[in-house]
Amino acid sequence: MENNQEVLLRVEHLCQFFGSTKAVNDVSFDVKKGEVFGLVGESGCGKTTTGRSIIKLYDITSGNIYFKGIRIGAGLMSYRVAIREAKKSFKEKAKTADAASRSALKSERDRIIHEQKKQMKAAKYDRKHCDKEYAEQQVALVKGKYLPLISAARGEKQRTLRSEYRNELRKAKKARLVTKIQMIFQDPSASLDPRLTVREIISEGLIIQGEKNKELINQKVDEMLETVGLVREHAGRYQHEFSGGQRQRIGIARSVIMQPELIIADEPVSALDVSIQAQVINLLNDLREHLGLTVLFIAHDLSVVKYFSDRIGVMYFGEMVELASSDELFLNPLHPYTRSLLSAIPLPDPEYEKKRKRITYNPLAEHDYSVDKPTMREIKPEHFVKCNQAEYEKYLAQLK
Partner 1 sequence: MDKKLQVKGLTISFKTREGKVQAVRNIDFDLNRGETLAIVGESGSGKSVTSKAILGILAGNSIVENGEILYDGKDLLKISEDEFHKIRGDKIAMIFQDPMSSLNPIARIGKQLTEAMILKGKARQKESRTSFNTYLAKLREEMKTIIPQEEAVRKCHDFDKFEYKHLELESAYNRAHEAATEAIDDIDALCFELGKKGAKDVRYRVGRIRSLSMASVQEYVVKEDADALKATAASLPRLARAAGNNIDNEPLVVALRAIGEILKKAVALEQPNFFALGYYSVFSGQAIPALPVAELNKSMRSYLDDHFMLDFIENVTLALRKSAEKTADNMRRAVDLIGEVRPLFTAETLDKGKTYAALKTLGAAVSASIDPLAITKDSLSYTFESAFRSELDRYFSGFSGNVREQKRFDRQTAKQNRQRARGKEPSWTVVEPSLVDFDLVKSNLLAQLDRTAAHYREALDAADSRDFREEAVAVIDYLKDCASGVVLKVTKQMAKNKAIKLMEEVGISEPRKRFRQYPFEFSGGMRQRIVIAIALAANPDILICDEPTTALDVTIQSQILELINKLKKERRLSVIFITHDLGVVANMADRIAVMYAGKIVEYGTSEDIFYHSAHPYTWALLSSMPDLDSTDRLDAIPGSTPDMLYPPKGDAFAERNKYALKIDFERQPPMFRISDTHYAATWLLHPNAPKVEPPKAVTDRINRMKQKREAQNDGE
Residues that bind partner 1 (CB under 8 A): 41-44, 243-245, 270-271, 273-279, 281-282, 285, 300-304, 306-308, 330, 340-341, 344-356, 358, 364-365, 368, 370
- Distance CA(293)–CA(311), nearest Å, equals 15
3-state helix, strand, coil in the chain (%, to 5): 55, 20, 25
- Contact call for residues 266 and 51 (beta carbons, < 8 A): yes
Angle at which helices 99-152 and 155-174 cross, to 10°: 150
Q: How far is the CB of 121 from partner 1 (least distance, A)?
A: 38
Give the contacts of 361 (CB within 8 A, at least 6 positions apart). 316, 336, 337, 339, 340, 341
Q: How far is the CB of 42 from partner 1 (least distance, A)?
A: 5
DSSP 197: B
Q: How far is the CB of 44 from partner 1 (least distance, A)?
A: 6
Q: Judge residue 381's burial from the number of C-beta atoms within 10 Å of its C-beta, 0-12 exposed, 13-18 middle, 19 or more buried.
A: exposed
CB closer to partner 1, 85 vs 353 = 353
CB closer to partner 1, 107 vs 303 = 303
CA 40 from centroid of its chain's CA atoms: 13
Q: How far is the CB of 17 from partner 1 (least distance, A)?
A: 18
Amino acid, res. 29 = F
CB closer to partner 1, 41 vs 73 = 41
- Distance CA(265)–CA(287), nearest Å, equals 13
CB closer to partner 1, 110 vs 327 = 327
Amino acid, res. 199 = R
Closest to 297 (Cα-Cα) out of 306, 225, 289 = 306
CB closer to partner 1, 218 vs 279 = 279
Q: How far is the CB of 316 from partner 1 (least distance, A)?
A: 10
CA 172 from centroid of its chain's CA atoms: 24
CB closer to partner 1, 18 vs 352 = 352
Give, in degrees to the nearest 5, the angle at Cα 15 between 12 and 17: 170
DSSP 178: G
CB closer to partner 1, 5 vs 243 = 243
CB closer to partner 1, 107 vs 282 = 282
- Contact call for residues 198 and 234 (beta carbons, < 8 A): yes
- Contact call for residues 380 and 331 (beta carbons, < 8 A): no
Q: How far is the CB of 59 from partner 1 (least distance, A)?
A: 22
DSSP 210: T
Helix segments in 153-183, DSSP class H: 155-174
Q: How far is the CB of 246 from partner 1 (least distance, A)?
A: 8
Q: How far is the CB of 97 from partner 1 (least distance, A)?
A: 32
Q: How far is the CB of 307 from partner 1 (least distance, A)?
A: 4
CB closer to partner 1, 5 vs 282 = 282
